[in-house]
Amino acid sequence: MRVNSKELGCVSPSWNSSFEGILYWKQKVDSRSKRGCVFSEHWCRLKGNILLLCRSPDRTSNEISGVVLLEHFTVSRTRDEEISYSFRLDFDSGDKPLVFVARSEDEAEKWCHHLNKAQLAPRLRRFILLRDEIRRITGSDPLEAGVSGSSVTTPTIVEEGSLNDEGLEIILKCLNIGDMAHPNELPNTCLFVSVSTSLKNNWTPVGATEIIESSRNPVFSKTIFLRHDLIDENNSIRFSLFDIKDVKSNVSALIGETITTLKKLLDSSSLLLPLRDDCSKISVKYEGLETTIPSIIVHSRKQKPLDFTAAKVDANMLSLRSVCDNLLSKRYKFQDSIGETMHIIEFMGESKLCYAFPIEYLKTLIQSEYLIYDSLSRTGSSKPVIESLRKERMISMKQTLERYEANLRNLVDYSGPLFKSSSERANPRYDFVPTNLHVNQIALTDVDGQLVSSHNIISVGAFSLASRRYKSGGLFRMAFDTMITPTRTYPPSELSYLNISSESPVASATCLLNTKPIGKSMDLLYRGTHSIALLRSDLAGLIQRLSAPGQAEPLAERMQKTVSSIQWIFSDKLLSNLNVLPIVSCDFEVIITLLTQLSSIEITKSTNSQLSQSSDRVIIINKKKNESRESLIDSLDKAGQKLSITLERIWESVASVLWDHVLSGLADLSNQQSLSVSKEGGGNYSDLIAEAERSAYPNMLPINDNVLTAVSIIQDSFNYRHHACVCQLLTSVLTALSVQIPLWDRKDWEQAAVCGVLAQFEGLLSCYGDEQGMIEDWAWAIDYLLTYRVTLRPYGNFSDSVTDTNERNSEDTDSNVPTSNRCDAEEFHLGFKVTRLNECELSVPWKSWVHAPSEIQARGRVRIRLHPVSFVVGINELQSVAETLDKTAVQNAVNNHGLTSLRAYFNRYTKHFGAPGRTVSNQDVWDLLTDITHHLNTPVRSKPVEVLQLASEITQAFHGLRITTCKSAKDRTAMSVTLEQVQWLKSEGMHESCFTKALQCIRSTGLRLDNVMKNTGKRKYAFNRLQLLSFPRLYRPPMGTYSTNVSS
């Protein structure tokens, strides 16, 4: 190796040396006058991995006598009795060894220690190992993170297997772990486990434990699960123990490794494995070495497949497998209150409804909107303002319909994972898809791995239209700003969609509010256009339908149902002046009479054909019956044409009256002089036009100061935002309902039929900036859920139009009454059908349906309502800003309404079933309601997260649905979900001392980090240290699990 010794000598005194001192260098002398060895005295400087030998022993010397590169060598003490305090350097390359002598025993030990630490090769090996591990966890190379154009690959998430998989669970702990160089420092330990097959030399990572800080004898709560396909007696398993030097940046050093075979692990349930450090080859002797060897204790537990004969196990896995796709799991162990071990398994899966339900919802919405558009195009008005507004509505509705169709095409063409990632949150192509929808379950198992109990939480992003900015606020604000007589300030004491929409014609028309003429008229138009379209279809194909025998009776029942709906519409008070009901009823009675006669002829003919003997008389009778049947069909055809013409004429007059109510209600907006509550002195047309410009979506026609155009744009913008938010909400709620129903017993079925299903929504959004608009969207959609109805039917008892998420063949669902062995756990697939915009049908596993009361089973279906309850508490730094500026009125209004709604459900339940059972914390529900009231009514209360925890506990007492949301359901939601899971474990008997440990373990190694990985490609929460200072203590993630370089 060539060096510039002169230049090196000049700069060496200015370096910071690792160690300096005088050494005697042993050199051979081979001259005529003297042979042997001599020791020359030198001042030596250790600079990194370079040892500089100065020519003289002077400390300030800058003349270099020699340079030693300290790589791939070993340092050891020599045992020469004639030369004390000596040591030697042996090089792996075969170069001759170097021998040095120090001036004392202490200096010799120090030189050996510093020289051994100077070489970089062991560090490089550690860096390579860490680089590979970082690449596996984060999906990107840390050394290439700043290189432009570098590709980032998402690593494969190691699936630890479901409860139905056979495998091996490994429980780990360590003994006597420490750093030989720093014996007084306590390490932060973490274990990585890898498996190598007999056919391959590479190691496959299978899992890692959590980080245990400052402990020589760490006991890890995160367990490692080996799937059955990795278990082979010839395979090897490696345990690598790391000391995390910096928990924040995850800089670590390899303490040691140990390798054993899976055969030993299978033969013995417990192994003691000593650690070895391949990175250091220096041998240091300690007293009592046999008692201080660093070791890993490995306990193994065989995981048996689930026993599906157990009802609880069957119901739990049935719900997860039927609703979830890409189901992941992690395992843990914690100590319970009596000192035993609790075995925990965590599940997380993507909902199969995430894209399937929005597709069906959009199909129904587009069909309904086209019928409404056609009805509007056929009507007219003699009033100039109404007629102008009608034309503006047609232009705006056509644009909105095109947008609905574009959304539907995008969803149908979509291929990929069954969840919408947080990066797609503002993508207008997926406005109707909920963000990051996942099912989270924490379950308790026994020693054999059989399920004992479980708790479900649905995590999803806020129900909002993130593709549009919140210039005009969310739905609540938009509805409030379009109220006819805004006599109150915003927000009111309670944010209720019924109270605000009743005074806003825009909201009334969108929500089909029956208490107002405009809402009632829109409801009748939707119902009427749908019923008229069905009846027209039946009448148009009347002869073809009746050509096949046996169709008269089912057709009569179908038409009777449709006409009954039309008669109900025509009998409404809004249409009392038309008096059209008798005309329709008279014409329809003629058709029903003819169909009844035709049905009786077909029955008689069928009876005659079954006679044992044929006679001329029977043949003559059948001939006459055929002639009579053809005559009846001709009469039915004429009667059908007459009824069709009558309906078309009558419906035009009916629709004209209804549209007059709708357009007059919208036109009232343009006649008001106070359109903006922010201007106490009254508004003008410019306020309405400005509102339209703020709420208009891209590519809409320009307003051009036309107030009627502004009204139409506001109506369609509100309508689009409403349906997008409601669709996201329904997808999440139906997912939660599908997971929960298989766990119902008879009492739960009775409670759902009488009181409805309690659905509690937890929001973590702040009241500042765009997130306040998200709260207004989120709370509006939740409150609108009151109007929604879900019809539950047993699986197999569906019409052909039921959507099956697994695209099963029609012959699998053609039976009207399924049998228990036909619809078992293996055959059930989640199915649903959107019947109307505010109603759907949902399939129920037959094994769950049999637990329903007999009267429900006899009807073959049950129609239930959903009772929504929402509470929102911001926890981030933006909420701190909002509290400082006293801008939390929206949060207070949402929470006040949530408390009122929760009390209403409590009163309804106690009226029918008496007092509910005690909560998981053994408290009375009424006491918890009182506590919520106290927290909400406290004048000065910063971030009352206790409200969220109390509401969750009450919901569990009522066996309700739990749905947690934040902006993207990724970071803040992870803190809330993990907190609720650990609190549930505590109620199941986990020792109180394990609470913080369990919370840190699940947050640092659990599936919520996998959720972040799926969304961002990085295994870090999107937080920063300053931001976390504003978080409540229980909502702060462990050190090292968050980063500022992650998109939120």
Across 334-348, 483-497, 538-552, 820-834, the highest mean pLDDT is recorded for: 334-348
Q: Which residue in 847, 842, 636, 827 sits closest to 752, CA to CA?
A: 842
Banded model confidence at residue 313, pLDDT cuts 50, 70, 90: low
Q: What percent of the chain has pLDDT over 70?
A: 83
- Give the per-residue pLDDT at 695: 65
Q: Is 278 exposed, middle or buried (0-12, 13-18, 19+ CB in 10 A)?
A: exposed
Contact 298, 172 (CB under 8 A): yes
Q: Does the pLDDT of residue 113 top 60, yes or no?
A: yes
- pTM given for the model: 0.79
Q: In whole angstroms, how far apart are CA 429 and each of 407, 412, 983, 1028?
A: 6, 11, 38, 33
Per residue in 572-615, pLDDT (tens digit) is 898 888 888 888 788 888 888 888 887 777 666 555 554 444 55
Q: Which residue in 810, 880, 818 sits closest to 845, CA to CA?
A: 818
Q: Which residues contact 1027 (CB under 8 A, 6 or more apart)?
A: 876, 877
- Give the per-residue pLDDT at 813: 35
Cα–Cα distance measured from residue 883 to residue 863, given in angstroms and rounded to the nearest whole number: 43
More confident residue, 142 or 416: 416
Q: Does the pLDDT of residue 449 top 80, yes or no?
A: no
Residue 850 three-state SS: coil
- Give the per-residue pLDDT at 312: 56
| Residue in the structure block whose two tokens are 């054993």 | 260
Q: Which residue in 30, 37, 57 sits closest to 45, CA to CA?
A: 57
CA 752 to chain CA centroid, Å, is: 25
Q: Which residue in 493, 439, 437, 426 sits closest to 466, CA to CA?
A: 426
Across 280-294, 447-461, 661-675, the highest mean pLDDT is recorded for: 447-461
Q: Which residues contact 360 (CB under 8 A, 6 or more apart)?
A: 803, 832, 833, 834
Q: Does the pLDDT of residue 984 top 90, yes or no?
A: yes
Q: Which residues contact 322 (CB under 8 A, 6 or more apart)?
A: 352, 738, 828, 829, 830, 845
Terminal C-alpha separation, the chain: 52
Cα–Cα distance measured from residue 870 to residue 948, given in angstroms and rounded to the nearest whole number: 9
Contact 519, 505 (CB under 8 A): no
Q: Which residues contact 391 (CB under 8 A, 6 or more apart)?
A: none
Contact 653, 667 (CB under 8 A): no
**Domain extent listing, the chain:** 5-119, 126-143+156-281+292-305, 532-649
Question: Which amino acid appears at position 356 of this protein?
Answer: A
Q: Which of 195-204, 262-271, 597-606 has the lowest mean pLDDT?
A: 597-606
- In the structure encoding, which two tokens stand for residue 470, read together? 């919140």
| Residue in the structure block whose two tokens are 């966890």 | 137
Contact 776, 475 (CB under 8 A): yes
Per residue in 522-573, pLDDT (tens digit) is 999 999 999 999 888 888 877 777 777 777 788 888 888 888 888 899 888 9
Across 235-249, 293-307, 533-547, 863-877, the highest mean pLDDT is recorded for: 863-877
Cα–Cα distance measured from residue 249 to residue 571, given in angstroms and rounded to the nearest whole number: 72
Contact 422, 461 (CB under 8 A): yes
CA quadruple 793, 794, 797, 800: dihedral, nearest 10: 70
Contact 169, 225 (CB under 8 A): yes
- Give the per-residue pLDDT at 296: 92
Contact 336, 985 (CB under 8 A): no
Helix and strand numbers (H, E) in the chain are 29, 28
- Give the per-residue pLDDT at 123: 77
Rg (CA), the chain: 38
- In the structure encoding, which two tokens stand for residue 309, read together? 């004969």
Helices (H), 938-1041: 946-957, 972-987, 995-1005, 1007-1016, 1025-1028
Q: Does the pLDDT of residue 946 top 90, yes or no?
A: yes
CA 760 to chain CA centroid, Å, is: 16
Q: Does the pLDDT of residue 767 top 60, yes or no?
A: yes
Q: In whole angstroms, how far apart are CA 87 and each of 57, 112, 120, 716?
A: 19, 8, 20, 87
- Phi first, then psi: give them for residue 30, nearest 5 degrees: -130, 85
- Give the per-residue pLDDT at 537: 85
Tell me what the mean pLDDT of segment 167-189 comes to.
Answer: 82
- In the structure encoding, which two tokens stand for residue 81, read together? 């009795």
- Phi first, then psi: give them for residue 712, nearest 5 degrees: -65, -40
Q: Does the pLDDT of residue 792 top 60, yes or no?
A: yes
What fold does the segment set 5-119 form as a domain? PH-domain like (2.30.29)
Question: Which amino acid appears at position 533 of this protein?
Answer: A
Per residue in 773-789, pLDDT (tens digit) is 999 999 999 999 999 99
Cα–Cα distance measured from residue 889 to residue 491, given in angstroms and rounded to the nearest whole number: 7
- How many other CB atoms are there within 10 angstroms of residue 585's CB atom? 13
Q: Which residues contact 690 (CB under 8 A, 6 or more apart)?
A: none
Tell me what the mean pLDDT of segment 49-66 comes to.
Answer: 86
Tell me what the mean pLDDT of segment 743-764 comes to.
Answer: 95
Banded model confidence at residue 171, pLDDT cuts 50, 70, 90: very high
Contact 604, 624 (CB under 8 A): no
- How many other CB atoms are there within 10 angstroms of residue 574's CB atom? 16
CB burial of 815-834 (b: ≥16 within 10 Å; e: otherwise) equals: eeebeeeebebeebbbbbbb
Cα–Cα distance measured from residue 907 to residue 923, given in angstroms and rounded to the nearest whole number: 17
Banded model confidence at residue 73, pLDDT cuts 50, 70, 90: confident
Q: Which of 268-282, 383-397, 894-908, 955-969 has the lowest mean pLDDT?
A: 268-282
- In the structure encoding, which two tokens stand for residue 75, read together? 């340092």
CA 819 to chain CA centroid, Å, is: 34
Residue 451 DSSP code: E
Identify the helix (H) or strand (E) that includes residue 428: none
Question: Which amino acid appears at position 1031 of this protein?
Answer: F
Helices (H), 424-511: 475-481, 497-501, 505-511
Q: H/E/C letters for each residue in 321-389?
A: HHHEEEEEEEEEEEEECCCCEEEEEEEEEEECHHHHHHHHHHHHHHHHHHHHHHHHHHCCCCCHHHHHH
Pairing of the two strands 35-47 and 19-30: antiparallel
- In the structure encoding, which two tokens stand for residue 70, read together? 């300290």
∠ CA(948), CA(891), CA(972), 5° rounding?
Answer: 50
CB burial of 484-507 (b: ≥16 within 10 Å; e: otherwise) equals: eebeeebbbebbbbeebbbbbbbb
Pairing of the two strands 862-872 and 757-763: parallel
Cα–Cα distance measured from residue 721 to residue 511, given in angstroms and rounded to the nearest whole number: 12
Q: Which residue in 108, 50, 98 sits closest to 77, CA to CA?
A: 108
Tell me what the mean pLDDT of segment 941-947 comes to.
Answer: 89
| Residue in the structure block whose two tokens are 């690598």 | 240
- Which one is the CATH code of 126-143+156-281+292-305: 3.40.50.740, 2.60.40.150, 3.40.50.300, 3.40.50.10890? 2.60.40.150
Extract the runs of DSSP E, i.e. beta strands, from 734-884.
757-763, 789-794, 803-804, 831-836, 839-844, 862-872
Q: Is 846 exposed, middle or buried (0-12, 13-18, 19+ CB in 10 A)?
A: buried
- In the structure encoding, which two tokens stand for residue 734, read together? 């139906």
Residue 106 three-state SS: helix
Per residue in 664-710, pLDDT (tens digit) is 999 888 775 334 434 333 334 566 677 677 666 665 656 666 788 88
- In the structure encoding, which two tokens stand for residue 690, read together? 């400005």
- In the structure encoding, which two tokens stand for residue 254, read together? 């390899």
Q: Which DSSP string corresponds to 557-568?
A: HHHHHHHHHHHH
Residue 742 DSSP code: G
- The mean pLDDT of the chain is 83
Max CA-CA distance within the chain? 150
Report the phi/psi class of residue 765: left, alpha or beta, with left for phi > 0 and alpha for psi in -120 to 50. beta
Q: Does the pLDDT of residue 810 top 50, yes or no?
A: no
